[in-house]
Amino acid sequence: MFRDRIFEGRVAVITGGGTGLGRAFALRFAELGARVAIASRNAEHLEPTVADIGTAGGQALAVPTDVRVPEQVDALMKAANDAFGSVDILINNAAGNFLCPAEKLSPNGWRSVVDIVLNGSFFCSRAAFPYMRAQKYGRILSILATYASGASPGTIHSAAAKAGVQAMTRTLAVEWARYGIHANAIAPGSFPTEGASARLWLGTPEEAAKRISKSVPAGRHGRHPELANLAAYLCSEYADYVNGETVTIDGGFTWNHPSFDWQSL
């Protein structure tokens, strides 16, 4: 799909890069030659991924960071630049997700998700900007969800925050293209991770699998390498004319009309 080591010489900062999908991005980008700085609140979530990248011959750095705190986010970009010499790619992946009906969601629950997802993505983008502008090159990729432009019960906080990040992405695309900085987003469907199964999918794994096989035309969950390769494409030279876009990757879930039983055809 890609020429080998397409990210040779590039530095990628990935929030939430030690677990779940963030870890998949970190491993794939490192495999493609990027030096990777991964950031989240808990160092123990970061160290195994840094170690795995090192074992595979890559270079990675763990920077414990709370994306809700602008000073910590500034320090994250500085740490990446000090260690690796630039900040070329930013993946806004950190999130706090839990299902809650709108009427039961507390102000704190709302604030906390909006703070991590919307404020955190903006703080990271603005902190990466000076490095990207100085080198006239930057790629910002934000991880949304299909419900950011649709609707899914129990996700009002996350949906609103991610829709905000989608709007931010379009605005950054038009404001920062002149500096060689592009902003795009991915809206994933269902990709099993510990975080997602603990907080989002109700019922047993068997029940979840049954629901997926009914609602997703592909008949299965997404696979981490499928998502990581899309992220790599959007941050690569192959996507140099793609800017301000959100690409959905969901096995056809978004277009499947719920009242249409495609399995009976």
Contact segment (CB under 6 A) with ligand NAP among 48-56, 77-85, 87-95, 257-265 equals: 87-95
Contact segment (CB under 6 A) with ligand NAP among 29-37, 49-57, 89-97, 124-132 equals: 89-97
Contact segment (CB under 6 A) with ligand NAP among 126-134, 192-200, 237-245, 256-264 equals: 192-200
Site for ligand NAP in 201-240 (CB under 6 A): none
d(CA 233, CA 240): 10
Q: What is the DSSP letter of 25?
A: H
What secondary structure does DSSP assign to 123-153, as a single string? HHHHHHHHHHHHHT-EEEEEE--GGGSS--T
Phi/psi at 185 (5° precision): -145, 155
Site for ligand NAP in 110-169 (CB under 6 A): 116, 143, 145
User: Quick check: is 137 catalytic?
Assistant: no
Give the total of residues touching ligand NAP (CB under 6 A).
Answer: 30
- Pattern 27-56, ligand NAP, x by CB under 6 A: -------------xxx--x-----------
* DSSP 3-state of 61: strand
CB of 179 to ligand NAP, least distance (A): 25
d(CA 65, CA 69): 8
Contact segment (CB under 6 A) with ligand NAP among 4-12, 92-100, 121-129, 254-262 equals: 92-100
Query: Cβ(149)–Cβ(158) under 8 Å?
Result: no
CB of 19 to ligand NAP, least distance (A): 4
- Report if residue 66 touches ligand NAP, rule: CB under 6 A: yes
Closest CA to 24 of 259, 217, 228: 228
d(CA 260, CA 96): 33
H/E stretch holding 109: helix 107-114
Among 12, 13, 14, 21, binds ligand NAP (CB under 6 A): 21
Given the residues 137, 147, 233, 241, the one annotated as active site: 147
* Beta partners for residue 139, in sequence order: 89, 182
* Beta partners for residue 60, in sequence order: 36
Catalytic residue numbers, as ranges:
147
Residues that bind ligand NAP (CB under 6 A): 15-16, 18-22, 40-42, 45, 65-68, 93-97, 116, 143, 145, 188, 190-191, 193-196
